[in-house]
Amino acid sequence: MKSSWSSLPIAWQDAFGLAVDSYLRRDAAPIGAVVTDGAGTIVSRGGNAISSHRLAHAEMEAFAGVPATLDRRAARLFVTVEPCPMCAGALRMMQLGNVHFAARDPAAGATRLLQDDGFMREIRCAVHAPRIPALEQVVVALVIEHRMRKGHTRWQPAWEAYQPVAFSFGRLWPPRALMRSGGMGRSALRRSTNPPFRSASAPGASPSRRVMVGCPANPFPDPWSYV
């Protein structure tokens, strides 16, 4: 499958941009979410902000901005990491017809709860598992770097079993401050055996245009052409 950032649907570009924005600006878990209407137009966005409030998950932020006139059964939630139990419950209460996630959460992922009992099943929400391997691996690597740096090691074996290559790569990434600095150019990244990311956005750029660039000489199947 040809991998390029421009080939990603705009919903995934925006969701990933929001995840990176949360990661770099808020020092929060790198998770972003958008809601689209039936035509695929983004109507609401959210980035993880639990560094300021424990309930400020990306999905909750996106749900808060959903317009009252939205046809919810035709709407779709795109989120970089599988929703947790709280967000799965909120998804049911929002009555959205579809949920897409770029990467599973082998510890807290809870989309299975949408089929848990009669109440949860009453309003059907179609669950769409990860379908873009390179995006999935980059998301997992970002999550692992954040978790390791924050000392959240309890569920690391589950993450490693789920995506061992992305897990290993996430552990190799340098501190987030270096990534934010943007001091390394693409040519330097290609020579690096421990490649950081750098922000490639212009000052004031929207999260959907804030992309990440990195080193193609890595264990992933050409993920940098996604990001």
Instruction: Please provide the DSSP assignment of the chain as one string.
Output: ----GGGS-HHHHHHHHHHHHHHHHS-----EEEEE-TTS-EEEEEE--TTT-TT--HHHHHHHT--TT--GGG-EEEEEE---HHHHHHHHHHT-SEEEEEE--TTT--GGGGGSSHHHHHS--EEE----HHHHHHHHHHHHHHHHHHT--TTHHHHHHH-HHHHHHHHH---HHHHHHT-S-HHHHHH-SSPPPEE-PPTT--GGG--EE--SSSSSSSGGGT-
Respond yes or no: is residue 145 known to be catalytic: no
> Which active-site residues does the annotation give?
59
